[in-house]
Structure 1
Amino acid sequence: MSMTKAITGARIFDGTSWHEDAALVFKGSRIEAIRPMAELPEGIDRIDAEGGLIVPGFIDLQVNGGGGVLLNEEQTVAGLRQICAAHAKFGTTALLPTLITDTYEITSRTVEAGKQAKTEGVPGFLGLHLEGPHLSVARKGAHDPNLIRPMEEKDIELMLSCRDVFDAMMITIAPENVTAEQAARLAQAGFMVSLGHTDTTYEVAKTYAEAGVRTVTHLFNAMSPLGHREPGVVGAALDIGSLHVGIIADGIHVHPAAMGVALRAKNGPGRIFIVTDAMSTIGTDMKSFTLNGREILRRDGRLTLADGTLAGADIDMISSVRFAHAALGLPIEEALRMASAYPAEAAYLADRKGALKPGFDADFVLLTAELGMKSTWIGGVKVHQE
């Protein structure tokens, strides 16, 4: 059988334009082309999509868990594999499993598990997102304040040990516990350094952006708000063009009106991209779970501590895309880009992910015309079928 395959029988969105009466052609793990059906060579292995849509695979840069696994509770390759597999069922073809503020020992174990997962080629695993522990207690959210602390040299060395291992790595920090020099050092090593869980000012945020901070973690949540005299981190995220900005599109963490205002206000070239901030509940019927010894409750689409504090999100990526399209009135093309092209740009991966172009990774999703899931493909391999 030929290694070259063609997916036929569906409309194809390449990240920019739609293709009708065409096929997505890929060989091994890479895309070769989108070809008109009339130009497909004889003998090519054809796979009939039987209608629907072919779109770029989704990229999630903030995923705390899935499939019953929370990274903070299970720092193993098996745990990382389960998280990636759980989200593949909802169209995510690349992700950063995310460790919420924890001890140095737990962080070290997570990094070692991540390195092993990369060695083993876990499908969809890009690298890690360390969300803490170097945050602001004033904007801790559901993070354990007893574990929040300043960044030390050992923390930097641990992160630098990942430099040539992962495809991408993200570190959420607050200026309250990380110096601009430390942030610059990590940024210069190629990491996405992200402002989040911080009560800092616009001017300080701007200084950190100039030092190399690239992203902002879950816009509006756990950060100084936009004020008319002090724009805060929200103002910096929208005003500073170099910053790429994650947002949780569940209608709970951010009101749709606020999301719409942010999308219209954002200066480029940095874009607003979707993150799920998903927890272990995704793909399960769990009613509760534990984080740092505290029970998190699942009710009516919300995950909260006993006092009502939001603790991550209970949403997957295809649901987030549907929300952005339906609740915000975004064209489906833009909603799809927020889940694929824009996170790829933020993660320095726009040369091979986030679109269906020749030479790009063969990461794509087959959807119904109504945006229902049909199948997920990572590196040219079907990893999920409805």
Structure 2
Amino acid sequence: MIRLVAAENTFLNGRLVAGYAAEIGAEGIRRLRPLHSDESPDLRAHLLMPAGIDLQVNGAGGVMLNSDTSAHGIRHIVDTLRARGTGWVMPTLITCEGPRILRAAEAALEAWSSAGFYGLHIEGPHIAPEKRGTHRLGYVRPMDDDTLNALAILRRADVPVMLTLAPEIVPADTIRRIVDMGVVVSAGHTAASEAQTRAGLAAGISCFTHLYNAMPPMSSRAPGVLGTAIGSDAYAGMIVDGHHVSWEMAGIAWRARPLPERMFLVSDAMATIGGPDHFELYGERIEVRDGALVNAAGALAGAHVDLMTCMANLVHHVGVPLDQAVRAATLVPASVMGRTAPGLADGTPNGEFVLLDAGLRRIAL
């Protein structure tokens, strides 16, 4: 059966257009075209857009990549998020032992042809101990051969990879070497000074991981990594769930960037998305409490949110215009990775587009 869906707004070729409809069959969009004035659609949506691209997903569906470091684990995380409006997912391995990083690289090679798998994000272990957050201190360490070998394995196979590191921990010449491999290097879990951050940017860092979080606050005379990031031309991801960053502070950063389309959304999702309300990480119970994911001490430990919810929050609570919010969930993260974001067209399959209502909640077909 083919259903005719009319959209008040359609994100087409990088902009919002009105008056479009999609003929949707069992496999996806059969035809995308203007809605005729005499037609009565089967369904009306506020927004039809390409599915999102999330560059930071630690887990979903009851699985953490750290606990199931396999091609099966990768596919399970990706498939769980694809059912929730995120069409392309970069599973994220957080600070761990060297052999597990190598296993993650091999798993990524095996899973690379899977629908929706966008590459691998390795977050740590080469981070600042004092800004490790929920990352295990015993695994935090300087750059080593295990990570470098894993990066080489991935890049030889042309698998996209992002590496989050602290620029004060990893020497500039090593950062340059990693960037030259084709790795996107992001600064995060860092206490870097302004000078250390600028040195990292000069060495090839092009992104910042979950802006504000796992970074010291800036002050009037010491911008540090946060102020330097906001004032830079680099990309910056943000978790817009209302727990990691207040709505007001999210808006300040969004409006202060010197170049447009340098901010993008990430979920930092954990196993509770599409799964049970708790899981174990490093042998410690992590649970959902009042909408936030916390450890036994009550500290934030990842996020209980998906990308589409972050996008809705960005519009409704931060006040970012809808077209900019859609770009922050689609075009900008693709640009971070040097790729072209998939768009809407005849033949777009299920899992690669999303319909949202006026509250920017996903409409299931």
Structure 2 SS opposite 1:282: coil
Match of 1:101 among 90, 95, 98: 95
CA-to-aligned-CA distance 1:127-167 (integer Å, 9 cap, x gap): 11000111110111001011000002342122011114355
What aligned pairs does 1:178-327 form with structure 2 within 5 A after superposition? 178-241=170-233, 243-268=234-259, 271-284=262-275, 286-327=276-317
SS in 2 for 1:373: coil
1:334-379 deviation per Cα after TM superposition (whole angstroms, max 9, x unaligned): 2222111111111111x343x447999993212234322135xxxx
Q: 1:365 — aligned with what?
A: 354
Q: Give the C-alpha shift of residue 269 in structure 1.
A: 5.2
Change (3 A) 1:212 1:77: same
The code of the aligned residue for 2:20 comes to A
Following superposition, the deviation at residue 175 of structure 1 comes to: 2.2
Letter matched to residue 192 of structure 2: T
Q: CA deviation at 1:267?
A: 1.8
User: Match of 2:44?
Assistant: 51
1:13 corresponds to:
11
How many residues of Structure 1 are paired with residues of Structure 2 in the alignment? 356
Query: CA-to-partner distance for each residue in 1:255-284, whole Å, 9 max, x for gaps?
Result: 111101101111225611110001000012
Letter in 1 for 2:295: L
Compared CA separation, residues 91 and 30, structure 1 to 2 (3 A)? closer
In 1, Cα distance between equivalents of 2:358 and 2:281: 38
Q: Is the 8 A contact 1:61 1:97 kept in 2?
A: yes
Taking the aligned partners of 2:170 and 2:3, their CA distance within structure 1 comes to 49
SS of residue in 2 equivalent to 1:110: helix
1:45 alignment partner in structure 2: none
Map 1:338-353; keep pairs closer than 5 Å. 338-349=328-339, 351-353=340-342
Contact 2:311-2:329 within 8 A present in 1 as well = yes
49 and 334 in structure 1: CA distance in 2 versus 1, 3 angstrom threshold: farther
1:91 alignment partner, one of 85, 92, 96: 85
The answer as to whether partners of 1:15 and 1:56 remain within 8 angstroms in 2 is no
Q: Is 1:80 paired with 2:69?
A: no
The alpha-carbon distance between structure 1 residues 97 and 229, as it changes in their structure 2 partners (threshold 3 A), is same
- Paired with 1:236 and 1:361, the residues of 2 have a C-alpha distance of 41
In structure 2, how many angstroms separate the alpha carbons of the residues matched to 1:368 and 1:221? 31
- d(CA) in 1 for partners of 2:3 and 2:174? 47
Q: Structure 2 length as normaliser, TM-score?
A: 0.89
Supply the distance in 2 between the matched residues of 1:364 and 1:117 (Cα, whole angstroms): 22
Q: 1:326-345 residue pairs with structure 2 within 5 A?
A: 326-345=316-335
Classify the secondary structure of the residue corresponding to 2:265. strand
Per the TM alignment, residue 24 of structure 1 is displaced from its structure 2 partner at its CA by 5.6
When normalised by structure 1's length, the TM-score is 0.85
Amino acid at match of 1:190: G
After superposition, the CA RMSD in angstroms is 2.7
1:70 correspondence with 2:64: yes
**Counterpart Cα distance in 1 of 2:347 and 2:208:** 30
- Seen in structure 2, the aligned counterparts of structure 1 residues 329 and 307 have a Cα distance that, compared at 3 Å, is same
In the TM superposition, what are the counterparts of 1:116-195 in structure 2 within 5 Å? 116-118=110-112, 121-195=113-187
* Residues 359 and 199 of structure 1: CA distance in aligned 2, closer, same or farther (over 3 Å): farther
Residues in 1 aligned to 2:333 and 2:293: alpha-carbon distance in whole angstroms: 24
Secondary structure of residue in 1 paired with 2:279: strand
Question: 1:43: which partner in 2?
Answer: none
Tell me how far apart the structure 2 counterparts of residues 361 and 196 of structure 1 sit (CA, whole Å).
35
Aligned CA distance change for structure 1 residues 313 and 122 (closer, same or farther; 3 Å): same
Task: Provide the C-alpha distance between the structure 2 equivalents of 1:30 and 1:265, rounded to a whole number of angstroms.
Answer: 39
**Counterparts of 2:56 and 2:196 in 1: how far apart (Å)?**
24
Task: Tell me the amino acid that sits aligned with residue 44 of structure 2.
Answer: G
- Residue from 8, 16, 20 that aligns with 1:22: 20
